[in-house]
């Protein structure tokens, strides 16, 4: 390999390395996405900063009802974590949906979010759960809601040299149900043709008190289908209303033609899978 | 002692492979070795006006940069030498190589290759087979008349953009169609697909005095030796080809790509030069299965019995015919449009076209999946139109002893009726299906392999045997098979037979792995050798006893098989999965029980990938599925259980009555799946059968 590999054990050291080498440096944790891009010649850093030895970036914990997943926790740790499962089973499912177990043993939760691949599974689910990342730089620490993190394909609002240290998933309001569905017509380890993450809470009269619908793999970032949410909020979620919301989700999708299907097909599948996800939440 | 053949085999190379100590061509290294990288064309068709290598040569560590001017007029190929080692006047597909670099490190070589500055003048490109064969189409090989053909004269072609062309006619098709109660016509199409073997191509070439050494992933070392002798103008016995373990082949590794420029780089630098192809390049420049468009017309009598058949088969050969070893320059079974059926009269015309796509070559049962998908869909459509159960229609038309097949050849024996009867029973054909399910059937037949070889056997004082063979083992189990044949014949334990695969300098000429031949040919040679050893031993010869076992397998015989497949279809999305599958296969005597099962189950998974998802998607000449993130193949999680029924009591021409299985059972999977999906409500006439196409068919659109 024609880059220098650094493996600091302290976060400050990592930040200093990134600051010193600027555009010539790239941070990695599991490096699964990095190696794909590197091998295709899309990334050519002269310095790679490995974060796996920075202890403070790992681990999964409960923070007063919020779930905090360290940036270097692997997908496999997250999918098997009792804390994650207790917080939201659908979130554990989203982590378990990524690629294969071999990849999940290596790929990290923070790396996945920093990679900002709109076809990945956790971003859509975490966005539906109103999560935010904690980001640090030599200038300080800030919280970035996921809705503001993803800017475009493989592009985030992280500043150069800024690192994700954790993702924080707030406590779900009591009675909230969540679903993650992934349409995989080819292989079990494929990227989604479309995925849908949704949360829904009903008030005592059965009407929808709160709802979030996020579409994955059908746009440059995960797409929050706010029009679909608006159609449901305050309404009785009967089959007709869910169908109406699903049709709005279809219109919210912004896919491209590729080997997983034409844009028109993916839009239609966004409708079908939104309907299925929402039905599962009111069943 | 118990019969060796009844004991599951232990792979002779198994321990090395599972412990990671097995060495492949990419692991080969020599003192002072350089690394190669290549510059390829960004255009599908262009004139090469100038190549400037100054910047490439200036990269530190670069030892040589070669261009077409340095290798002209060297062209390579398995039969027709039509592929320039490096293009000097014209590039014909995206990735066609124009320069080769040897450098101290792979990084330096790659950096230099990227700095080779080529001036191109774009030419009109042609991507469609019919457009390529139309009058006035842009010529892809204006100098074709100068190309050399190894061993034979090139058969005439009807158009300068035709690689190969064949016409067959038997019986009286016109009378057959006139006598038909109904005549049906359908057109089907398939994209090119890749073998997706695990190991990418790799090669190491060095020149030691007058001897050229090649370590290669080529599965037919003696063929490579003959080709290299022709290309380099070197005597065959001045070339030694070493083929270590081959990590999967499926036909693709019969064609060498890097060995040619490596030879020139080794010659000019005086150093060993190695290359390991990136998988992205495998998917963009190597030897695919041919894409095809196939139009079939068949007449049937009132009972659905075939009276006459007509076929027009078009293959997309891509930019070069170099990957095809057979003299017609076609996929091996280009003409087998109704394999396994009685066809009293037929006219089949097949043409393989040059296009500006990446070159196509051999892939597991070349030509058969294409023709099988077309024929099995066609017959299913006919059954549906006639209101006859699809299995019943096949039973009526299955070839029987004394019938002629689509090639006009008479079968002296046929297991096909038994295969279908067994399939009906084992699959529970006719049992009611749950809503949303569909069931499909397809049959197939493949000739057992032919060819000749020799191998050397030595019996020592302890009664142990060493066999030396030039055959490679690409994962099929050839070496294990040879050992077990010898062990059984001599009534000794398989562990007492050691089979060594040796280089071309230390082995009699060998045809290599391919054409389903190894068990037939090498197995019979092993049996012949074992018998000679036994005879010498019994005659009182003193060990070590050394004999040469030989075989020349010419018998024309077929293995038959059929699938029944059940799918469950999601009518809202078009997605479906295969939930049940039965394969009945006529395999003769089994030598390697585990490998036979592995080949049949693997063939099923291989066909399943082609049916459901595999497609080298090419846009404007560029492969857009150039990684396994985009070009998907089934993982184990995607392969349903397969109910496997072996018919072992109809002996074949192999040792102890063996037949072949390596390419037996992959072709018909595509048709069986397509027919099951059609039974569930969606007929799709092109591969792969994507969820989107199924949904379009369900909604009544074109698929």
Q: Check the CA dihedral B485-B490-B496-B497 and report its sign.
A: negative
Q: Is B633's Cβ below 8 Å from some Cβ in A?
A: yes
Q: Which residues pair with B658 in a beta bridge?
A: B588
pLDDT-based confidence at residue A39 (cuts at 50, 70, 90)? confident
CB B486, CB B532: distance < 8 Å: no
Identify the residue among A46, A191, A265 best suited for mutation to test binding to B, counting B beta carbons within 10 A and taking the highest: A265
B692 Cα to chain A: minimum distance (Å)? 6
- Tell me which architecture the domain covering A55-169 has in CATH: 2-Layer Sandwich (3.30)
A59 Cα to chain B: minimum distance (Å)? 29
Contacts A274 to B, Cβ<8 Å: none
Minimal Cβ distance to A272: which of B573, B612, B634: B573
Q: Is A185's Cβ below 8 Å from some Cβ in B?
A: yes
pLDDT in tens, B2-58: 789 999 999 999 999 999 999 999 999 999 999 999 999 999 999 999 999 999 999
Q: Is A181's Cβ below 8 Å from some Cβ in B?
A: no
pLDDT in tens, B426-455: 999 999 999 999 999 999 999 999 999 999
Minimal Cβ distance to A188: which of B625, B638, B692: B638
- Residue B8 is classified by DSSP as P
Rounded CA separation B423/B430 (Å): 11
Q: Is A283's Cβ below 8 Å from some Cβ in B?
A: no
Question: What's the whole-number mean pLDDT along residues A62-77?
Answer: 98
| CB within 8 Å: B632 and A186 | yes
- Residue B358 is classified by DSSP as P
pLDDT-based confidence at residue B248 (cuts at 50, 70, 90)? very high
Domain ranges for chain A: 4-50, 55-169, 177-282
Closest-approach residue (CA) in chain A for B617:
A259
| CB within 8 Å: A259 and B692 | no
pLDDT-based confidence at residue B701 (cuts at 50, 70, 90)? low
Contacts A265 to B, Cβ<8 Å: 692, 695
pLDDT in tens, B256-270: 999 999 999 999 999
Largest CA distance in chain A: 63
Q: Check the CA dihedral B299-B302-B304-B306 and report its sign.
A: negative
Closest alpha carbon to B340 in B263, B433, B444, B465: B444
pLDDT in tens, B535-590: 999 999 999 999 999 999 999 899 999 999 999 999 999 999 999 999 999 999 99
Rounded CA separation B567/B674 (Å): 10
Contacts A36 to B, Cβ<8 Å: 627, 629
CB B478, CB B10: distance < 8 Å: no
- ∠ CA A133-A139-A140, nearest 5°, is 45
For A234-256, b where at least 16 C-beta lie within 10 A, e where not — what string? ebebeeebbbbbbbbbbebbbbe
CB B241, CB B504: distance < 8 Å: yes
| CB within 8 Å: B625 and A185 | no
Edge-to-edge order in the sheet of strand B90-91: B90-91, B46-52, B117-122
A170 Cα to chain B: minimum distance (Å)? 33
Length of chain A: 283
**Which tokens sit at B642?**
């397969």
Asked if the model's pLDDT at residue B292 lies above 50, the reply is yes
Q: Check the CA dihedral A246-A248-A251-A255 and report its sign.
A: negative
Alpha helices in chain A (DSSP H): 11-21, 32-39, 75-80, 82-87, 89-96, 101-104, 109-115, 121-128, 146-149, 226-232, 239-252, 263-282
Q: Which residues pair with A196 in a beta bridge?
A: A181, A215
pLDDT in tens, B300-316: 999 999 999 999 999 99
For residue A119, give Cα distances in angstroms to A192, A260, A265, B299.
Answer: 6, 11, 16, 49
CB B135, CB B94: distance < 8 Å: no
| CB within 8 Å: B625 and A265 | no
Place of tokens 């099923």: B604
Closest alpha carbon to B454 in B495, B508, B394: B508
**Which tokens sit at B96?**
């066609």
Contacts A39 to B, Cβ<8 Å: 278, 280
CATH topology (fold) of A4-50: 3.30.43
**Which tokens sit at A131?**
């999560």
pLDDT in tens, B55-68: 999 999 999 999 99
Question: What's the whole-number mean pLDDT along residues B73-81?
Answer: 97
Rounded CA separation B394/B305 (Å): 9
pLDDT of residue B31: 97
Q: Which residues pair with B444 in a beta bridge?
A: B561
Contacts A258 to B, Cβ<8 Å: 630
Q: Is A46's Cβ below 8 Å from some Cβ in B?
A: no
Question: What's the whole-number mean pLDDT along residues B625-629?
Answer: 93
Rounded CA separation B369/B283 (Å): 20
| CB within 8 Å: A185 and B632 | no
The answer as to CATH 3.30.365.10 being correct for domain B449-553 is: yes
pLDDT of residue A2: 81
Asked if the model's pLDDT at residue B100 lies above 90, the reply is yes
Asked if the model's pLDDT at residue A1 lies above 80, the reply is no
For residue B68, give Cα distances in angstroms to B146, B278, B581.
Answer: 17, 22, 51
pLDDT in tens, B672-693: 999 999 999 999 999 999 999 9
Minimal Cβ distance to A187: which of B278, B625, B632: B632
Question: What's the whole-number mean pLDDT along residues B387-415?
Answer: 97
Rounded CA separation B294/B350 (Å): 9
**Omega cis (within 30) before A251:** no
Rounded CA separation B658/B581 (Å): 25
CB A48, CB A30: distance < 8 Å: no
The domains spanning B291-448+556-698 and B449-553 adopt the same CATH topology: yes
**Which tokens sit at B668?**
């018909």
pLDDT in tens, A88-111: 999 999 999 999 999 999 999 999
| CB within 8 Å: B624 and A40 | no
Rounded CA separation B381/B259 (Å): 47
- Tell me which architecture the domain covering A177-282 has in CATH: 2-Layer Sandwich (3.30)
Minimal Cβ distance to B632: which of A2, A190, A262: A190
pLDDT of residue A41: 84
pLDDT in tens, A252-281: 999 999 999 999 999 999 999 999 999 999
**Omega cis (within 30) before B688:** yes
Rounded CA separation A75/B678 (Å): 40
Rounded CA separation B48/B229 (Å): 27
| CB within 8 Å: A186 and B630 | no
For B450-480, b where at least 16 C-beta lie within 10 A, e where not — what string? bbbbbbbbbbeeeebbbbbbbbbbbbbbbbb
pLDDT in tens, A134-193: 999 999 999 999 999 999 999 999 999 999 999 999 999 999 999 999 999 999 999 999
pLDDT of residue A91: 98
Question: What's the whole-number mean pLDDT along residues A55-60?
Answer: 96
| CB within 8 Å: A187 and B637 | yes
pLDDT of residue B1: 61
Q: What CATH number matches the domain at B25-124+195-285, 3.40.50.11540, 3.40.50.880, 3.10.105.10, 3.90.1170.50?
A: 3.90.1170.50
pLDDT of residue B703: 46
B612 Cα to chain A: minimum distance (Å)? 7
**Long-range Cβ contact pairs of B645-649 (< 8 A, separation 24 or more):** B645/B422, B645/B423, B645/B426, B645/B582, B645/B583, B645/B584, B645/B585, B646/B585, B646/B587, B646/B590, B646/B596, B647/B415, B647/B418, B647/B419, B647/B422, B647/B584, B647/B585, B647/B586, B647/B587, B648/B587, B648/B588, B648/B589, B648/B590
pLDDT of residue B598: 96
Rounded CA separation B500/B488 (Å): 18
For residue B617, give Cα distances in angstroms to A260, B632, B670.
Answer: 11, 11, 18
CB B115, CB B187: distance < 8 Å: no
Rounded CA separation B544/B594 (Å): 33
CB B561, CB B419: distance < 8 Å: yes
Contacts B572 to A, Cβ<8 Å: 272
| CB within 8 Å: A39 and B278 | yes
Rounded CA separation B145/B139 (Å): 13
Contacts A185 to B, Cβ<8 Å: 573-575, 690-691
Domain ranges for chain B: 25-124+195-285, 291-448+556-698, 449-553
- Tell me which architecture the domain covering B291-448+556-698 has in CATH: 2-Layer Sandwich (3.30)
């Amino acid at each position: 390999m024609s880059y220098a590999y650094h493996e600091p054990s302290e976060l400050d050291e990592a930040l200093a390395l990134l600051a010193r080498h600027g555009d010539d440096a790239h941070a990695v944790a599991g490096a699964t996405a990095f190696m794909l891009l590197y091998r295709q010649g899309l990334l050519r850093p002269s310095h790679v900063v490995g974060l796996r030895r920075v202890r403070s970036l790992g681990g999964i914990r409960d923070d007063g009802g919020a779930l905090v997943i360290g940036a270097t926790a692997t997908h496999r740790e997250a999918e098997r974590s009792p804390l994650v499962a207790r917080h939201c089973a659908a979130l554990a499912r989203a982590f378990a949906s990524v690629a294969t177990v071999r990849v999940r043993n290596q790929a990290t939760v923070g790396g996945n979010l920093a990679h900002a691949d709109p076809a990945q599974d956790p971003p859509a689910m975490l966005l539906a759960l109103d999560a935010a990342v904690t980001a640090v730089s030599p200038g300080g620490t800030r919280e970035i809601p996921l809705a503001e993190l993803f800017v475009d394909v493989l592009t985030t609002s992280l500043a150069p040299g800024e690192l994700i240290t954790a993702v924080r998933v707030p406590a779900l309001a009591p009675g909230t149900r969540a679903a993650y569905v992934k349409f995989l017509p080819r292989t079990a380890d494929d990227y989604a043709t479309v995925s849908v993450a949704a949360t829904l809470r009903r008030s005592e009269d059965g009407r929808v008190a709160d709802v979030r619908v996020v579409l994955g793999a059908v746009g440059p970032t995960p797409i929050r289908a706010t029009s679909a949410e608006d159609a449901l909020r305050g309404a009785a979620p009967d089959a007709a209303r869910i169908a109406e919301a699903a049709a709005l989700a279809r219109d919210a999708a912004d896919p491209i033609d590729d080997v997983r299907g034409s844009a028109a097909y993916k839009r239609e599948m966004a409708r079908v899978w939104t309907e299925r996800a929402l039905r599962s939440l009111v069943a | 002692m118990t019969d060796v053949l009844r004991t599951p085999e232990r792979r002779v190379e198994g321990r090395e492979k599972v412990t990671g100590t097995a060495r492949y061509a990419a692991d080969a290294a020599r003192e002072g070795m350089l690394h190669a990288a290549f510059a390829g064309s960004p255009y599908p068709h262009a004139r090469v006006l100038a190549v400037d290598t100054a910047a490439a040569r200036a990269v530190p560590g670069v030892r040589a940069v070669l261009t077409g001017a340095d290798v002209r007029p060297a062209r390579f190929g398995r039969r027709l030498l039509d592929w320039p080692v490096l293009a000097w006047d014209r590039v014909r597909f995206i990735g066609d190589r124009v320069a080769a670099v040897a450098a101290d490190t792979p990084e330096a070589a790659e950096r230099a290759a990227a700095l080779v500055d080529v001036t191109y003048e774009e030419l009109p490109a042609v991507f469609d087979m019919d457009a390529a064969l139309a009058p006035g189409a842009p010529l892809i090989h204006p100098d074709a008349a100068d190309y050399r053909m190894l061993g034979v004269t090139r058969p005439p072609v009807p158009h300068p953009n035709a690689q190969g062309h064949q016409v067959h006619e038997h019986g009286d098709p016109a009378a057959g169609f006139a006598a038909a109660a109904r005549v049906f016509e359908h057109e089907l199409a398939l994209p090119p697909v890749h073998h997706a073997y695990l190991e990418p191509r790799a090669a190491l070439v060095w020149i030691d005095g007058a001897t050229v050494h090649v370590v290669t992933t080529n599965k037919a070392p003696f063929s490579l030796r003959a080709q290299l002798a022709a290309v380099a103008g070197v005597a065959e016995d001045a070339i030694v080809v070493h083929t270590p373990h081959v990590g999967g082949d499926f036909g693709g590794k019969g064609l060498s790509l890097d060995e040619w420029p490596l030879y020139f780089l080794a010659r000019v630098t005086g150093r060993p030069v190695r290359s390991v192809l990136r998988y992205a390049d495998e998917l963009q420049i190597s030897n695919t299965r041919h894409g095809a468009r196939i139009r079939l017309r068949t007449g049937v009598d009132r009972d659905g019995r075939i009276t006459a058949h007509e076929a027009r088969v078009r293959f997309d050969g891509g930019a070069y015919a170099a990957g095809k070893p057979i003299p017609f320059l076609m996929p091996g079974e280009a003409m087998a449009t109704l394999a396994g059926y009685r066809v009293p009269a037929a006219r089949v015309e097949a043409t393989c076209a040059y296009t500006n796509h990446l070159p196509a070559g051999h892939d597991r049962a070349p030509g058969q999946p294409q023709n099988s998908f077309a024929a099995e869909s066609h017959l299913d459509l006919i059954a549906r139109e006639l209101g006859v159960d699809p299995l019943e229609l096949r039973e009526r038309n299955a070839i029987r002893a004394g019938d002629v097949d689509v090639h006009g050849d008479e079968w002296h024996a046929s297991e096909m009726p038994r295969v279908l009867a067994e399939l009906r029973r084992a699959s529970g054909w006719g049992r009611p299906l749950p809503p949303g399910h569909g069931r499909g059937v397809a049959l197939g037949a493949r000739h057992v392999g032919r060819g000749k070889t020799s191998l050397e056997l030595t019996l020592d004082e302890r009664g142990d045997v060493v066999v030396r063979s030039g055959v490679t083992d690409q994962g099929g189990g050839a070496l294990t098979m040879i050992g077990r044949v010898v062990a059984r014949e001599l009534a000794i334990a398989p562990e007492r037979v050691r089979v060594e695969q040796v280089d071309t300098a230390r082995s009699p000429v060998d045809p290599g792995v391919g054409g389903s031949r190894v068990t037939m040919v090498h197995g019979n040679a092993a049996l012949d050798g074992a018998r000679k050893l036994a005879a010498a031993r019994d005659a009182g010869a003193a060990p070590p006893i050394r004999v040469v076992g030989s075989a020349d397998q010419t018998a024309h015989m077929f293995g038959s098989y059929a699938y029944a497949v059940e799918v469950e279809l999601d009518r809202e999305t078009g997605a479906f999965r295969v939930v049940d599958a039965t394969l009945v296969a006529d395999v003769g005597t089994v030598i390697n029980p585990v490998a036979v099962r592995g080949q049949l189950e693997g063939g099923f998974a291989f066909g399943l990938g082609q049916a459901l998802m595999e497609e080298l998607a090419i846009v404007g000449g560029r492969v857009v599925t150039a990684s396994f993130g985009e070009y998907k193949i089934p993982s184990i999680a995607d392969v349903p259980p397969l109910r496997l029924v072996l018919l072992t009591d109809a002996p074949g021409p192999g040792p102890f009555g063996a037949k072949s299985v390596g390419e037996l059972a992959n072709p018909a999977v595509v048709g069986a799946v397509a027919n099951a999906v059609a039974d569930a409500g969606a007929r799709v006439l092109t591969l792969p059968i994507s969820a989107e196409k199924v949904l379009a068919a369900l909604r009544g659109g074109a698929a």
